[in-house]
Structure 1
């Protein structure tokens, strides 16, 4: 393929042509008329075409070298995650807030860059700071090239460092105020506007286990939510607003019960973020009678889930109340949901009994499938079925053959308990709320439903927060390590909000995979160094548009 000149009526024209073979002859075939030679040279079209072809030839040359096994002078690094999340790090205010907090200190290394690198590591793969030191070598993170493991340890310790005594106002009983608390408050202030509303907050907890002692005070034995009761652990609480945005995180020793966490954190929230009216929405595990009394004494509203099966007042009085249900139709993104609700007052307490017909039918079908399997096992006389928890809940206590007659036998007989089936059916699709808020039953249901939606955010948070293994041995470094995971959650939520605004709904695994595929190859030829970018793949282009991040050129030279 080449460029050919041809003169017609005194004017010279340029053509892009190629040779084609027809039988035993070869002829030239015109691919494109580039135009009059003087015009093409004047407007620079030919120069741009040559530059474009040159870029592809350079990329082809590099690929040819790689295929031939010659990687001398070539270096490849991933650029997608640092570019995208680096922009979010700037625009959420994380960088500015951390640098402001660092201003009075005199660290000899870029602490903010160490924190951003740790946060990026949590987003992409999670893990320990030791793993982060090795992981970062594959990524082009501006300002992070000279970081080493002891820099990450010092940065984590600074984030979790306790504040001076004169800045310890409103600390919780289980943790002092630390540097990371002031960063959370500054981030909230930067994002506050006239429409910022924290009148409704959601809180959930998880446990993080340690392979070692877990610091001076944090590592304790307690109820393990990750099924490792043999290890010391800590309790982590994350507070989220009604839109699912992370507000703050709180950390407590591993033997702290959930019911003792809620009130101190709510008290602290009101002072930290200047919240006036508060409606606490929480699930069953957070609530005890003393907690409810304390909320009422503080003048706080609440919408709380109730344990229908174990709360005697609910089981014996609320659920048996003859008040008819009121049908309610709730619109959701997936369509309409048919609900029924009624308000019941018992001993001066207000309950909202809710029934979801679709969920009730699903639970009935699931139970019927279990019973059919149980009947088949009983027909075989298989006593081992009592070890199956799904079966065991519907089996009557074994009796012995011959109990009703003169013939005695020692073989136990297992039967399906009809009474247990009827009792279980009583709860199909039913959930009960207790509230003191001056809102309608529908509003109470919607607020509690929002909690269920926010639990999806918590599942994401827990995935990011489980940064095993944690090798730090001090409380301060552990707090900083876990706080980096909280900042990762902040960036992920911000990206999700931008995607929703742009009409994007990418899978998170797809996001991470496609971002990692965006790379730059540096080719050092001796007299000249070129940097070539790989093509954009998958959702990367749409993500960069949503975050307003410009892609680097296909081919460029490094800045002097």
Structure 2
């Protein structure tokens, strides 16, 4: 039995009728007969036809088509970030490389898969290793379908193997990224940070200078080498009490031996560059760019006095947000005689950051007011008439107290103190000293022996914050902390996983940034001024950070559903933001449906 449309004509009009036709056999021949007439099909609405079909389907004992009542939803899984990371993971050949390092060993754990899961967890919802074992069912990866999910001990074992291959893995990643991102390591940025522990038993954890203002906690130090675009290429984990300057030889060795970099410019802060490190850089064939603290002896009062006229400075780039002036080396105090024997010509560049001026002024004024409030409190305490308990304060003890509270934020030179040795304590600001200090606002000095033009030297040092941004992102978004591991190898592996996760995040940002910069160059060639300025403004506001890109991608989910007897994943439809990101990354849109086997 089947439906058929019968057409008839009446007075130049055509009518279509829906009929039910039955086939039957008679005398060995197949014939058809009409068994029902459902009326003029053109008079039915689409909804009426749909209801008719649904009503007829109620008589089916085994409906192969199903209705919305036959759809069951079980939950969703993270799909967007794994979809993208999986592509980049394969481009790096990480699974094959990790497996090749383990091919001659009896390994019962899928180290590559566990590593990928740990990296994805850092990018999506950072948790402890036990938390990852409980979370992994929320992650869609084709490799996880139809097989037992890894347990917490699988992740720990994978970390042990991963830490052993760290150096080889970093070299492999560097070589792959050199091709994929056209890296040319002419500049490298190096910085050091600390991260405190929750536990107390790791041999690496020591008390030292805490950049996180937690001197009560033992910590580790982490040195990071990054490219000018912020791509991390290598890292080292040091004990928590190591001095910054002692870590530089390791960084130089990594560049010259592991990555076989023949020539580049090493960019770092002044605390890392000693005469020994300068010699090590010279022996490796590297040049350097280092920054001096504005209150160091290199940024002398005489230097600031002579170059306070900002009209002598050159704006950096189109925005002119930074001013710089190259100054003669003779104007800067030599650190020692050994430096004058360098083969490379040393240059100095004095920089002025107008945006930093207001910040420095506000910081100093707040410190001055806090010091005055403490002095006022001390003055009122001295003037109290009631007898005091305990030892009577002496003039010496009072002046020591005054010195202590003024020296806490370096305010001593900004106040003139008058104390009569008894109850009268007065003070006033030393405006001459304050005016002299204001010459330092927004200033910093760069020293280099590179052959780069002055503007490129300043830009390179300005980009040193790429390393600082990397540390900030690894700590805040990738969640390096809390660190509970007490096994040294697993602490190192934990840091490696965090750096790997940041590598993928930054890779996405670099590709998106390059795309926007190419579009900006194209827009600059537009002849119509109004159109050009409008498009440039839109493009400059369209930059996306790696974190923002990940947040957008995480909106794409794999919804676990069952329709009649078929289990499937329905992929949520990417929005315009996700389509834009995938287009920039040159990735196809994900499939609408994935059938579960």
- Residue 486 in 1 paired to residue 499 in 2? yes
* TM-score, normalised relative to structure 2: 0.71
Q: C-alpha distance in 2, partners of 1:357/1:472?
A: 42
**Superposition deviation, residue 411 in structure 1:** 3.8
Q: Following TM superposition, by how much is the alpha carbon of 1:266 offset from its aligned partner in structure 2, in angstroms? A: 0.6
How far apart are 1:251 and its partner, in Å? Answer: 1.3
CA distance in 1, matches of 2:590, 2:79: 10
Cα gap change, 1:315 to 1:107, in 2 (>3 Å)? same
- Residue in 1 that maps onto 2:157: 154
The 2-side partners of 1:392 and 1:411 are apart by 21
Q: Which residue of 1 aligns with 2:263?
A: 277
Judge conservation of contact 1:302–1:437 (CA < 8 Å) in 2: yes
The corresponding residue for 1:352 is 348
Residue matched to 1:254: 240
Paired residue for 1:527? Answer: 565
- Output the TM-score relative to the length of structure 1: 0.75
1:268-417 correspondence runs (5 A): 268-296=254-282, 298-311=284-297, 313-315=298-300, 318-319=303-304, 326-332=312-318, 335-337=319-321, 339-346=323-330, 347=334, 348=340, 350-356=346-352, 358-359=354-355, 361-363=357-359, 366=362, 370=366, 392=411, 395-396=414-415, 398-400=417-419, 403=420, 410-417=423-430
Equivalent residues of 2:474, 2:480 under 8 A apart? no
Residues 284, 517 of structure 1: CA spacing in aligned structure 2 closer, same or farther, 3 A cutoff? same
Aligned to 2:128: 128
* Structure 2 CA distance for aligned equivalents of residues 465 and 147 of structure 1: 21
- Give the count of matched residue pairs: 488
1:97-116 aligned at under 5 Å gives the runs 97-116=97-116
Q: For structure 1, which segment, 378-387 or 112-121, has the greater mean C-alpha deviation from structure 2 after superposition? A: 378-387
Listed one character per residue, the Cα deviations across residues 284-338 of structure 1 (whole Å, up to 9, x for unaligned) are 3323344335434555311111123133x44256545679884323225xx2335
State the distance in 2 between where 1:6 and 1:409 align: 119
Shift, 1:398, TM fit? 3.8
Deviation at 1:413, TM superposition (A): 2.3
Question: Where in structure 2 are the equivalents of 1:505-524 lying within 5 Å?
Answer: 505-508=543-546, 510-524=548-562
Q: Which of 236, 244, 248 is 2:230 aligned to?
A: 244
After superposition, residues 169-188 of structure 1 pair within 5 angstroms as 179-188=165-174
2:187–2:267 contact (8 Å) kept in structure 1: yes
Distance 2:567 2:494 in 1: 38
Q: Aligned pair in 2 of structure 1 residues 113, 275: CA closer, same or farther (>3 Å)? A: same
Q: Secondary structure at the match of 1:362?
A: helix
CA–CA separation in structure 2 for the residues paired with 1:7 and 1:501:
66
> Cα distance 1:437–1:519, how it changes in 2: closer, same or farther (>3 A)?
closer
Alpha carbons of structure 1 residues 419 and 91: separation in structure 2 relative to 1, 3 Å? same
Change (3 A) 1:375 1:205: closer
Kept in 2, the 8 Å contact 1:306–1:433? The answer is yes
Look up the match of 1:557.
Answer: 595
**Equivalent of residue 496 in structure 1, options 472, 486, 509:** 509
Q: Which residue of 1 aligns with 2:390?
A: none
SS in 2 for 1:336: coil
1:541 to 572, 579, 583: 579
Once the two structures are TM-superposed, the CA of residue 120 in structure 1 deviates from its matched residue by 0.7
Q: Matched residues in 1 for 2:411 and 2:8: separation? A: 94
CA contact (8 A) 1:323 1:342 kept: no
- Larger displacement relative to structure 2 (198-207 or 288-297): 288-297
Q: 1:377 to 1:394 in 2, by over 3 A?
A: farther
SS of corresponding position for 1:236: strand
Q: Deviations over 1:191-212 (max 9, x none)?
A: 3359642232111111122222
**Residues 508, 5 of structure 1: alpha-carbon distance in 2 compared, 3 angstrom cutoff:** farther
CA offset at residue 149 of structure 1? 0.3
Mapped partners of 2:501, 2:239: distance in 1: 23
CA contact (8 A) 1:119 1:488 kept: yes
Q: 1:344 to 1:31 in 2, by over 3 A?
A: farther
- 1:192-247 CA distances to partner (integer Å, 9 max, x unpaired)? 359642232111111122222453x4222221222222332221111112332211
CA contact (8 A) 2:256 2:284 kept: no
Report which stretch shifted further, 90-99 or 501-510: 501-510
Gaps of 5+ in 2: 19-41, 48-63, 335-339, 381-401, 517-541
Q: CA RMSD in A?
A: 4.0
Larger of the two Rg values belongs to structure? 2
- Structure-2 residue corresponding to 1:77: 77
Instruction: Give the secondary-structure state (helix, strand or coil) at the position aligned to 1:146.
Output: coil
Residue aligned with 1:539, SS: helix
Which residue is 2:534 aligned to? none
Q: Which runs of 5+ in 1 are unaligned?
A: 16-26, 33-53, 66-70, 162-178
Q: Summarize the Cα distance change of 1:148–1:476 in structure 2 as closer, same or farther, 3 Å threshold.
A: same
The alpha-carbon distance between structure 1 residues 345 and 557, as it changes in their structure 2 partners (threshold 3 A), is closer
Q: CA distance change for structure 1 residues 353 and 553 in 2, over 3 Å: closer, same or farther?
A: closer
